[in-house]
Amino acid sequence: MSTPNPPRTTLRSALAALAVLLAALFLAPPPASAAPVPPATFTEVTGFGANPSSLRMWAYAPANVSAHPAVVVAVHWCGGSATDMYNGSEYKSLADQYGFVVVYPSVTRSSKCWDVASPQALTRGGGSDPVGIKSMVDWAVTTYAADTSKVFVTGISSGAMMTNVLLGDYPDVFAAGAAFAGVPFACFATTNGSEWNSDCANGTIIRTPQAWGDLVRGAYPGYSGPRPRMQVWHGTQDDVLRYPNFGEEIKQWTNVHGLTQTPSFTDSPNGWTRTRYGSTGDQAPVEAISVQTGHNVYAAGMGARALTFFGLTPDPGPGTPNPPAGPCKVTSSVSAWNTGLTNSVTLTNTATTAVNGWRLTFTLPAGQTITNGWGATYAPASGAVTATNATYNAALAPGASVTIGYQANHTGNAAAPTGFALNGTACS
């Protein structure tokens, strides 16, 4: 005797249940992280998601982290690391004060520079470093139930270039960015695999606002949502990523926001020149600040200004004094030839207390290797270098200076080092 067919209603119910089960298995969001990082501790995070270029990730969450915190991604300079960015900026102390989470990405390739040049990096979801950083953001948002409307990115030098790239690739992820001494999105683009673009670095790539804006829009074709706000900072005497790049960034991001090149607001806080485009308030669509300094434009207090632009801290208001001076001032004088250079570095103690034993850390540009030095011992010979005092010059009274130097080989980039810090605190 044949088995009777089940009733159609029973079969439909079974199929519906199966559909629900499949949806739960394949369409559900990824599970949340097992646990946040220990409070008030700079901690490495592993297994955070897609990471095609093998980046490393550190995170910092204050003990008083907000219920639905903002997330700030802090991107280090070329030759630096997440640890350098943690030690050389004030985002940790600001997080303690305002309750947001900080993500510190770190490059693992030998140059310690971010990929801001490859076609993969300049396309949403194309691969390379931006994909890994986006995964870090996703981890932070999921782990801390973060406010997705308050995700921001800031960076210095190569990290500033990556800030431009991330806002172009992921306009739906980041609400705003602050770039200290960077270049426009796609300015560093290359097709031969090189990480360095001399034309862009030298400020000779000049485009119309429309052309710059089209490069950003081309990173995410078809996107029609709101664009992140952008704050750009640059030193007028920058000899690594020259000052014309500042004007090209302004062209690009004003065009992306559909604005003209005419500022809505101009002032001179702390001797800087600040212009705002699209509105006069401290959260204008585009804000640009030029400083009478070189490539090391970032100084203590500027991180707080970036957070004001993000909307995370109160407006300091007119007449606010200059950011506090760093513990040191550094001047660097490079003399270069075809494959070599010498650099004379003068370190001045600008603090009010004496220094007894010093370590001056800095980052050599990619391709430079120290062959010998004087006035200090240098280790390692490339990348993030520490110069340690000699026995005869260990003491520096307030206002006193010491001059040291080194000879190095280079492969084409003879620029001065960046990211100077005295005993772990960034120089002004």
Give the pLDDT of residue 353: 75
Tokens 């620029």 — which residue? 415
- State the DSSP H helix or E strand holding residue 57, giving kind and residue range, or none if neither: strand 56-60
Give the pLDDT of residue 24: 37
Tokens at 213, concatenated = 């804006």
Give the pLDDT of residue 14: 46
Cα→Cα distances 370→68, 332, 414, Å: 47, 15, 12
Give the pLDDT of residue 352: 67
Residues noted as catalytic:
157
The CA-based angle 128-118-410, given to 5 degrees, is 105
| Cα–Cα distance measured from residue 57 to residue 103, given in angstroms and rounded to the nearest whole number | 7
| Cα–Cα distance measured from residue 31 to residue 23, given in angstroms and rounded to the nearest whole number | 15
How many other β-carbons are positioned within 10 Å of the β-carbon of residue 381?
16
How many other β-carbons are positioned within 10 Å of the β-carbon of residue 280?
12
The CA-based angle 107-410-116, given to 5 degrees, is 35
- Specify the long-range contacts of residues 224-227, CB closer than 8 Å, at least 24 apart: 225/171, 225/172, 226/171, 227/167, 227/171, 227/256, 227/257, 227/285
Query: Model-level pTM?
Result: 0.71
Tokens at 123, concatenated = 């396309």
Which of 74, 80, 128 minimizes the C-alpha distance to 103?
74
| Cα–Cα distance measured from residue 102 to residue 277, given in angstroms and rounded to the nearest whole number | 28
Question: Which residues, 6 or more positions from 158, have their beta carbon under 8 angstroms from its beta carbon?
Answer: 75, 76, 77, 78, 113, 114, 116
Judge contact between 113 and 87, C-beta under 8 A: no
| Cα–Cα distance measured from residue 178 to residue 167, given in angstroms and rounded to the nearest whole number | 10
Rg (Cα) of the chain, in Å, rounded?
24
User: pLDDT in tens for each of the 428 residues of the chain?
Assistant: 443 444 444 444 444 444 434 333 333 334 344 479 999 999 999 999 999 999 999 999 999 999 999 999 999 999 899 999 998 899 999 999 999 999 999 999 998 999 999 999 999 999 999 999 999 999 999 999 999 999 999 999 999 999 999 999 999 999 999 999 999 999 999 999 899 999 999 999 999 999 999 999 999 999 999 999 999 999 999 999 999 999 999 999 999 999 999 999 999 888 899 999 999 999 999 999 999 998 989 988 899 999 999 999 886 555 444 444 457 888 888 888 999 999 999 898 877 678 888 999 888 988 999 999 999 999 999 988 999 999 899 998 877 889 999 999 999 888 888 888 888 777 76
| Cα–Cα distance measured from residue 424 to residue 87, given in angstroms and rounded to the nearest whole number | 6
| Cα–Cα distance measured from residue 84 to residue 369, given in angstroms and rounded to the nearest whole number | 20
| Cα–Cα distance measured from residue 224 to residue 232, given in angstroms and rounded to the nearest whole number | 23
CA torsion 285→290→295→300, rounded to 10°?
-80
Give the pLDDT of residue 350: 78
Give the pLDDT of residue 120: 97
| Cα–Cα distance measured from residue 244 to residue 79, given in angstroms and rounded to the nearest whole number | 23
Residues found in the chain: 428
User: What residue ranges in 260-327 does DSSP mark as E strands?
Assistant: 265-267, 273-277, 286-291
Question: How many CA atoms lie within 13 Å of 325's alpha carbon, on the beta-carbon side?
Answer: 10
Tokens at 372, concatenated = 């010998």
The CA-based angle 238-244-247, given to 5 degrees, is 120
Give the pLDDT of residue 202: 96
| Cα–Cα distance measured from residue 303 to residue 71, given in angstroms and rounded to the nearest whole number | 14
Tokens at 293, concatenated = 């300094």
| Cα–Cα distance measured from residue 297 to residue 187, given in angstroms and rounded to the nearest whole number | 20
